[in-house]
Amino acid sequence: MKSDINISNWFTTPVSYKFLTEIDNNKIKEYSYTLKEYCDGNKISNQGGWQSKNLNITENEEIKKLTIEIIKESFKFLKVFSMKKEYNLYFENIWININKKCDFNTPHIHPNSFISGVYYVDCNEESGRIVFENPCQPFDCFINGEEIESINSYNAGKAFHIPQKNKLVLFPSYLNHYVEPNRSTEDRISLSFNLSLKK
């Protein structure tokens, strides 16, 4: 049956993901634990977890290799926004996260950047999902979740990404998100980062 309604989609929020199988996670994992042993961490959105200070990407060859792949995938992601070609991307910061059992990250955004993301070094399905909240606020006051027959991009209040090794997730920096508690006995190791635009 043909519909007689015309739909115009606006205010769409893209989230991209890709598996970077050429990255050696064991090398990054070893570097992460070494850094944690000798360096104090930051306390920002992390509750109980360790978060490194901003990394010097030239100090570790595997992280340097990873950042090249991140930039490559981020340029593809940037095309979704129809940005001018003369814009380039550069790292504002990149850091390591180590979440032990029950550690989590509270809701937050990443100001002063354009694209943010996470790369999973070591994790499993119980390590804690990254949860993206609908930027159309207050969405929960508009739709009662109990009345929804099936979740789709029009009625979802939240979207989830299950952590998987070698998975790179990119999203706009304005998108509010958090990390669920790690329910596993294994550490959840990831790298987070922010990219900005530069002419």
Q: Is residue 6 part of a domain?
A: no
Range of the domain at 140: 16-198
- The percentage of residues in the chain with a pLDDT greater than 70, rounded to a whole number, is 94
pLDDT band at 40 (very low <50, low <70, confident <90, very high): confident
Both structure tokens of 186: 């294994």
Q: Is residue 10 part of a domain?
A: no
CB 115 within 8 A of CB 173: yes
CA 98, CA 40: separation in Å to the nearest integer?
13
Higher pLDDT, 41 or 91: 91
> Count of domains in the chain?
1
The pLDDT of residue 71 is 96
Q: Is residue 60 part of a domain?
A: yes
Burial of 32 (0-12, 13-18, 19+ CB in 10 A): buried
Higher pLDDT, 5 or 30: 30
Domain CATH for 49: 2.60.120.620
Q: Is residue 97 part of a domain?
A: yes
pTM summary value = 0.92
Task: Provide mean pLDDT across the span 52-71.
Answer: 94
Each residue's pLDDT tens digit, 112-138: 999 999 999 999 999 999 999 988 866
Which DSSP letter does residue 184 get?
S
Q: Is residue 61 part of a domain?
A: yes
Angstrom distances, CA of residue 124 to CA of 23, 121, 153, 178 = 17, 10, 26, 17
The pLDDT of residue 145 is 67
- The percentage of residues in the chain with a pLDDT greater than 90, rounded to a whole number, is 68
Q: Is residue 5 part of a domain?
A: no
The pLDDT of residue 94 is 97
Each residue's pLDDT tens digit, 145-166: 677 788 888 888 889 999 999 9
Q: Is residue 185 part of a domain?
A: yes
pLDDT band at 3 (very low <50, low <70, confident <90, very high): low
Higher pLDDT, 158 or 177: 177
Task: Provide mean pLDDT across the span 25-53.
Answer: 91
Whether the per-residue pLDDT at 1 is higher than 60: the answer is: no
Q: Is residue 8 part of a domain?
A: no
Contacts of 43 (CB under 8 A, 6+ apart): 51
In angstroms, the first-to-last Cα distance of the chain is 49
Selection from 121, 133, 131 nearest residue 162 by Cα:
131
Whether the per-residue pLDDT at 65 is higher than 90: the answer is: yes
